Structure 1
Amino acid sequence: MKLDVALGVEGGYLRRIGEVARAAEELGFSGLVTSETKHDAFLPLAVAGSVTRRLQLLTSVAIAFSRSPMEMAQTAWDLQELSEGRLILGLGTQVRAHITRRFGMPWGRPVARFREYILALRAIWDAFQNGTPLNFEGEFYRHTLLTPFFNPGPIDHPEIPVYIAGVGERLARLAGELCDGFHVHPFHSPEYVRRVVRPGIAAGAAEAGRSPEEVRLATSVFVITGESREELEAQREAMRAQAAFYASTPTYRTVLEVHGWQGVGERLSELARRKRWEEMPGLISDEMLSAFAVEAPPEELGEALRERYGGLMERISLYVQFVPGERERFWRRLVEALLGG
């Protein structure tokens, strides 16, 4: 199992990325993961790719529908060339409100649009690498012009793995049909992965004549760990609040339904509509929390993660910020436990 480090989004995002990347590589992490909430997902990877030699570079995720396929293709191509083949391009759709009201971009039939987006990316990369005439005409995207002046040309590692993220069965099927990997949302349980994600991937792979084993699974994990009772309790309540936030969103109700907890999701949605945020964590029982988070003392966390995700995930990161120079013994022990297993 591969352990990645997730880049935090607070203060000095770009200024500290070189230090973070070098420290992560020295400690033995497999990859560096960026997300796209408050900041761009790609700029940090350009810095990280320049100061490391082994660390894989992952977006989890970059928002596809806020960019055209051509823009995404160019950015990924440059990062792949810079890093000598270490990029894993993770893409997500976001939701209608953010695409239309925050990014000001079109929305509609997101799964069909996403499928076409991935096909357009690969057509563009084929034109970059092989000089194939660019002639992609779909329902949502049309790319038919690429003169030599605008073609970056071939690179040494042209095969860029594409992972997509999703919650429901339809995007899992798309991953099975077309993609190299699937990012499971941090709000998940192993049972949900086994009952929703894996069957969806298998169905999509069967339709495309592929093996579902070609699709790698990755996720970020809620963890509860600490040296003292007070630290454990603080983390437990923080994770309870995080789980309540996600569970209040109808998009993530699929996860709850696997366990028969959809009624809790409906009550959480109602509290969120009424802005009664402080009452929401109280609806997440200890049983629910144990389904969504891994709790263990620091010295046992690696084994607990291996027990839960061994054979289920190829790579994981923790929903915990990595700070160079802090908790080095904890991180080194975790890397050794997971990579050694």
Structure 2
Amino acid sequence: MRITFAPWGETLAELADAGRRAEEAGAEVIWLQELHRSASISAAAVIQATSTAQVGTAIQLAFTRSPMVTALEAMDLDELADGRFVLGLGTGVQRLNEDWHNARWGKPVGHMREVVRNVRHFTANATSGAEMALEGEYEPMRIRGYERPYPVRRTEIPVYLAAMGPAMTRLAGRIGDGWISHELCSPTYLAERTLPEIQAGVDAVEGRQRSDIELVVSACCSVDSDLKAAVDRVRPHVGFYASVRTYADFFEFHGLAEDQQRVIDAFRAGTGADYLGDEVSTAMVDAITLNGDRDRVMEQLSAYEGLADAVKLSAPTHGLTPAEIRQGQDEVIGLIQTITGGRK
């Protein structure tokens, strides 16, 4: 199982340096998210600070750019990375797309299918000068008179899809080079809820095999020799997700519906989403995160063996000061060094 990492940085320079240190520690992929920063700009910064690890977006929003711009950014990043780039796409939630980005939502599975098709088609044909004409409900493409006048590093850039719901997960199984989980993805949830949907998607395509798609599990990781300190540090992070009713299925699956409701009630009463840690039970923390000293975390991590192909580790951020996040991130990078023995 590959060990990968999602860095944090208060500045782009710190973000890039965290990616560099994780590469040195043995992380095989460095993933960049899109919320407080642009995923593509963050990826560019990390690419220039690293030399061997793949660099990917996890995730870049799929509907807030045109597929052509997404493809152009992917080609530029892949050139900058000398073929190390991975394009990870996700939908985000409807309100974020429509209210924050003024982007069309529609039926997200169909919309995502068209985005991926167009990105791949454009990347494969950008230097040919050929007309690109694709029909679609959301992303029709009609490009004439375009020819990229310089070489493309790769005409096929891996596209990974982030998915939690069953329909989008099946789509990842059908068309993705990889699948990236939400942080709400325990080993039992992965085995019982997610993998059957991945396999259904794989089986829908003649000749496709499960090995054709890399499964990347996202895991928030709080490492501390003091178990209570490790758990308490990550409670606000868990509370942030528990405050969202959209994730009720996950908490119900683990028998934590009442625990989640306490968090939701506190959020509705006015507690900020980053500061709900006092309402989070230890059972919720254990369902969502890896926590404790290095031996305990590695034992928890081993539960994903045989289920996932890679794990994306990250430090908790919600409800913490920059100094606390930095300390937690240093511990995770140290854990990666312990697991891998450092860059080979």
2:197 maps to which residue? 200
User: Alignment partner of 1:42: what SS?
Assistant: helix
- The within-5 A match list for 1:87-106 is 87-106=85-104
2:267 to 272, 293, 296: 272
Provide the rounded CA distance (Å) in 2 between the counterparts of 1:99 and 1:79: 24
1:335 to 331, 340, 344: 340
2:115 maps to which residue? 117
2:244 maps to which residue? 249
Q: Using structure 1 for the length normalisation, give the TM-score.
A: 0.87
Provide the rounded CA distance (Å) in 2 between the counterparts of 1:329 and 1:198: 30
Contact 1:7–1:322 under 8 Å retained in 2: no
Provide the rounded CA distance (Å) in 1 between the counterparts of 2:212 and 2:85: 17
Amino acid at match of 1:335: T
User: Alignment partner of 2:185: what SS?
Assistant: coil
Q: Deviations over 1:7-27 (max 9, x none)?
A: 214x21x22344334333322
Provide the rounded CA distance (Å) in 2 between the counterparts of 1:239 and 1:170: 30
Moved over 6 A (4+): none
Q: Using structure 2 for the length normalisation, give the TM-score.
A: 0.86
Amino acid at match of 1:180: D
2:172 maps to which residue? 175
1:46 to 44, 47, 54: 44
Change beyond 3 A, Cα 1:171–1:291? same
Contact 2:54–2:84 under 8 Å retained in 1: yes
Contact 2:124–2:156 under 8 Å retained in 1: no
Q: In the TM superposition, what is the alpha-carbon distance from 1:300 to its structure 2 partner?
A: 4.9
2:290 maps to which residue? 294
Contact 1:128–1:154 under 8 Å retained in 2: no
Q: In the TM superposition, what is the alpha-carbon distance from 1:44 to its structure 2 partner?
A: 2.4
Contact 1:45–1:79 under 8 Å retained in 2: yes
Change beyond 3 A, Cα 1:265–1:297? closer
Mark the runs of 5 or more structure 1 residues left unpaired by the alignment: none
Coordinate RMSD, CA, aligned:
2.8
Provide the rounded CA distance (Å) in 1 between the counterparts of 2:60 and 2:102: 16
User: Alignment partner of 1:172: what SS?
Assistant: helix
Provide the rounded CA distance (Å) in 2 between the counterparts of 1:312 and 1:164: 17
**Is it true that 1:159 corresponds to 2:156 in the alignment?**
yes
Change beyond 3 A, Cα 1:286–1:50? closer
Number of paired residues? 332
Contact 1:189–1:255 under 8 Å retained in 2: no
Amino acid at match of 2:8: G
1:262 maps to which residue? 257
Provide the rounded CA distance (Å) in 2 between the counterparts of 1:193 and 1:152: 44
Contact 2:254–2:287 under 8 Å retained in 1: no
Provide the rounded CA distance (Å) in 2 between the counterparts of 1:46 and 1:298: 31
Change beyond 3 A, Cα 1:145–1:281? same
Provide the rounded CA distance (Å) in 2 between the counterparts of 1:105 and 1:213: 34
1:8 maps to which residue? 8
Comparing 206-215 with 57-66, greater Cα deviation is found at: 206-215
**Is it true that 1:82 corresponds to 2:80 in the alignment?**
yes
Provide the rounded CA distance (Å) in 2 between the counterparts of 1:161 and 1:260: 37
Contact 1:163–1:183 under 8 Å retained in 2: yes
Q: In the TM superposition, what is the alpha-carbon distance from 1:244 to its structure 2 partner?
A: 2.5
User: Alignment partner of 1:7: what SS?
Assistant: coil
Change beyond 3 A, Cα 1:205–1:322? farther
Identity of aligned residues (%): 28
Change beyond 3 A, Cα 1:54–1:322? farther
Q: Deviations over 1:283-320 (max 9, x none)?
A: 54333322222233225533442x22111222223221
Q: Deviations over 1:170-213 (max 9, x none)?
A: 11011011111111111221111112211111111112222233
**Is it true that 1:240 corresponds to 2:245 in the alignment?**
no
